Structure 1
């Protein structure tokens, strides 16, 4: 059996089993759903010390992600196309993401603040593209240093749970003319109520000199802030992430919707829909709509 057929078979079996399992695995003790305090060790009872590896952002595999407009001629704003001829790319590829964090310092600010280190890696893989020898179309690396402080007050009917900021670097590790990278200071505020969690994240890009800027105007396309709303019930999870450039002239951004359904224990099926700019760094100024089907290993 060929490599692409193996992936297709894996996807069909997983997706079909997941739909069947929705009616079979609904027990609360089979679903690990964490509160903000448990995820970020905010309350004294949830603190686990330093240098323990924890999940961070979503950890998933999409054996099939389809796009309506594959970026065959990537180019930065104001630059020539990176290639003389369009790349022979497939509109369906594999996407996966891994993400971890660990606490470096605990209780450093008034006995409550923490410093975390996070790392996220996302891949777009042309695994079905035999003609081009199945290359990785894009790999994005995102290390960050996160300062977090617990909160406990009512805000707009929600319980405010934490705030802080992070020093964030994101790049694709590629040479010119397809090199992409930027640095940000990302502020965050999170709150929850019953089955809802809300994250608000505005950021400031650290200026890059024009001659060294691989992706000019990236914040005009990917955005300057994002809001994430998560709703969970009976092992099912709805996740809506919205990014916006906060510009009154040419307003850009994106919307990503994720639906997870229980398969067994902590394994979940995942449907992901994205529309807008910046699905990854090479596509930062490229508009597209994607639909992906796969599995998720960690609660969002």
Structure 2
């Protein structure tokens, strides 16, 4: 199982050398993140690899509730016998984006087309009994259109809005196959040092007999709210999801990431997740996970 580890760290090195340099003494604003500021690089397309979601490795990620028999309301996607997973595993994520087109509706209206890719894995590296398998890997390509929305009401600053297509799947066969496709809307604001991003979405329908997880939006939600705050070398990110339904269909999750930059772009990283949908295979599984490791950017 050496190849996945080698490829992961090789990718981290690749990202480090090919990502546009930034001021490591401060975290970027939302306008800088989406190249909506007045700097020269925002006026042209360079197909540079840029940071998107956090790139991290959690050397120990502990769960309070192991999902040993993944299930779905689709009877073809139910594991009958316990698999034998450990409650501690290694987890990592890689993620990047690039601008594809700039100002497609002209300078007055704007409109930038972006593409992105994220991949997160849960690796049972300490599970010698099962020969250290990868428990779950989620693949997430995206394409979206971003518009600047510069306005200010007191300390409340509007930054951008956008819409895009998102595919997420785990690339496995039944009974472990999970996937969904969404149209995701997003709006971004800033209040002093707090960045706020709201992402409601609509799941695209699939053929009834070909849907691995028909009730996924009742667990992994129909909207996400992201809050980010930084103070010096400290950064806090909170992501919350909710099904936007009541009664037995009311489900939610929250993920808190904390990082401390100690060597340029290298950071100590800690993550706590609680609720449903820590990964696609766990979309209807309730648990709390705690992980520690390193991250970049």
Q: Which bracket does the TM-score occupy, shorter chain normalised?
A: 0.7 to 0.9
- The 5 Å alignment of 1:178-197 reads 178-197=176-195
User: CA offsets per residue over residues 168-210 of structure 1, 9 Å max, x none?
Assistant: 0000000111111100000000011321100000000001121
Q: Which has the higher contact order (CA 8 A, sep 6+)?
A: 1
Contact 1:102 1:118 in 2 (8 A): yes
Output the aligned Cα RMSD. Answer: 1.8
Q: Which residue number in structure 2 is paired with residue 294 of structure 1?
A: 293
Q: Which residue number in structure 1 is paired with residue 7 of structure 2?
A: none
Contact 1:50 1:106 in 2 (8 A): no
- The 5 Å alignment of 1:1-300 reads 30-45=24-39, 46-47=41-42, 48-79=44-75, 82-111=78-107, 112-154=110-152, 157-250=155-248, 251-298=250-297
Contact 1:140 1:172 in 2 (8 A): yes
Which segment is superposed worse, 61-70 or 105-114? 105-114
Q: Which runs of 4+ in 1 moved over 6 A?
A: none
Contact 2:74 2:212 in 1 (8 A): no
| In 1, Cα distance between equivalents of 2:153 and 2:212 | 40
| In 2, Cα distance between equivalents of 1:149 and 1:216 | 32
Contact 1:32 1:266 in 2 (8 A): no
Structure 1 residues 78 and 131: CA distance shift in structure 2, 3 A: same
Which secondary structure state, in structure 1, belongs to the residue aligned with residue 106 of structure 2? coil
How far the C-alpha of 1:155 sits from its partner, in A, is 5.0
Structure 1 residues 68 and 190: CA distance shift in structure 2, 3 A: same
Q: Unpaired runs of 5+ in structure 2?
A: 3-22
Q: Unpaired runs of 5+ in structure 1?
A: 4-28
How many residue pairs are counted as aligned between the two chains? 273
How far the C-alpha of 1:44 sits from its partner, in A, is 3.3
User: CA offsets per residue over residues 246-283 of structure 1, 9 Å max, x none?
Assistant: 00223102011111112211111111000000000000
| In 1, Cα distance between equivalents of 2:154 and 2:130 | 52
Contact 2:26 2:232 in 1 (8 A): no
User: CA offsets per residue over residues 132-165 of structure 1, 9 Å max, x none?
Assistant: 1111000000001110001101258411100011
| In 1, Cα distance between equivalents of 2:126 and 2:136 | 15
| In 2, Cα distance between equivalents of 1:81 and 1:204 | 23
Which secondary structure state, in structure 1, belongs to the residue aligned with residue 129 of structure 2? helix
| In 2, Cα distance between equivalents of 1:52 and 1:205 | 30
Which secondary structure state, in structure 2, belongs to the residue aligned with residue 149 of structure 1? strand
Contact 1:190 1:197 in 2 (8 A): yes
Contact 1:68 1:288 in 2 (8 A): yes
